[in-house]
Amino acid sequence: MVIGAISAATDTYFLPMLMKQLLRVNATIISGYKGGAEILAAMERREVDGVVALLANVTAGNLSYLKENKIRPVLQFGRERSVELPKVPTAAEWADTEVDKRLFQFYGIKYKMSYPIMVAPGVPAERVAALRVAFDQTMADPAYQADAKLMGLALNPLRGGEMHDLMTIINEMPDDLIVRLRALISGPSAQ
C-alpha cells in the first residue's frame, strides 16, 4: 500500500509509520504533499492508495467522498470507535500486545480532545466554571449545531471534567512508553 503524507512531522506520516511497525502493515509512505486535499486528489489519480486524515478534514470540504463511496475508511486512531464510523476498528483493536494497545490509545487522546480550550494556572474556580458553562451552552445552541452540520463537521464536545481526565492520563503516562512511542514515530533507524 502506498500512503500519501504531508511531511515526516505530521500525523499523515507518524500514523502510517506506527501502522508499519506495530501492526506490520506493508506500506510505503510518500511525503511531500502540500495538504490533505492534494493527497485526496492523488488518491483519485491512483497515485497513492491511502491517507491518514481527520474525518472532519475530509468531510468538511468533500461530503461526497463518503456519500459516494469514493473513500473507504479502514482504521481509526482514536481511543474508541467514533460515532460516525462505528464499524471501523481502531488501531488499538488490531494491536498484538497490551503495550502496543496502550500506545495507540495514548496517541489517540489527541483525537478525543482535538481542540482543547485551556486557561493559565491560578484562574479563579468561578471563572473556570463560567467558561465551562458558556462552552457547553455554545455546543448545545441549535444555530451553532446547524452551522457545523452545514460545514460537514461532527460535534462531539467533551465537558471540562472529561478533558481534565484525559490530561491526567497524559500526565501519568510512564516515561518508558513515551520514549518508545517517540522511537517508533522516528522510524526503524532511530531504534
DSSP track, 98-130: HHHHHHHHHHTHHHHTSS-----TT--HHHHHH
Q: Which residue has the cell 456519500?
A: 67
Domains of the chain: 2-114+160-190 (3.40.190)
How far apart CA 126 and CA 119 sit, in angstroms, is 13
pLDDT, residue 188, reads: 56
Mean pLDDT by 10 residues, the chain (191 residues): 92 91 93 90 92 78 75 89 90 94 90 80 93 91 91 79 86 90 69 40
How far apart CA 53 and CA 37 sit, in angstroms, is 10
The conformational region for residue 177 under phi > 0 = left, psi -120 to 50 = alpha, else beta, is alpha
Q: Which three cell numbers stand for residue 47?
A: 497515485
CB under 8 Å to 127, separation ≥6 — which residues? 119
Q: Which three cell numbers stand for residue 4?
A: 500519501
pLDDT, residue 191, reads: 40
Count CB neighbours of 37 within 10 A: 14
How far apart CA 44 and CA 58 sit, in angstroms, is 13
Tell me the CA distances in angstroms from 63 to 18, 111, 160, one per residue in order. Answer: 28, 20, 30
